[in-house]
Amino acid sequence: MKREGGKGRNRGGAFGPGGYCICAKCGEKVSHQQGTKCTSIKCPKCSKTMIREELFNSK
């Protein structure tokens, strides 16, 4: 029996150490730091929560 519950976004996978965090409001882009979730970073321009670029582009 295969369990798939509790995996959340990206089916529990990670996007890797590289990439960018992007602000969905103003478009500001900063380098992703390994070990820090983009959603824990506030945009340096408008102070809104940032998201991983791959998630932003999938909308």
Contacts of 51 (CB under 8 A, 6+ apart): 21, 22, 24, 38, 39
User: What type of residue is 27?
Assistant: G
Contacts of 21 (CB under 8 A, 6+ apart): 29, 30, 31, 32, 38, 41, 50, 51, 52, 53
Say yes or no to pLDDT of 12 above 60.
no
* Inter-residue contact 20 to 32 (CB < 8 Å): yes
What pLDDT sits at residue 44?
96
* Inter-residue contact 55 to 21 (CB < 8 Å): no
Q: Give per-residue pLDDT as tens, 13-58.
A: 567 778 999 999 999 999 999 889 999 999 999 999 999 998 887 7
Domain range annotation of the chain: 18-57
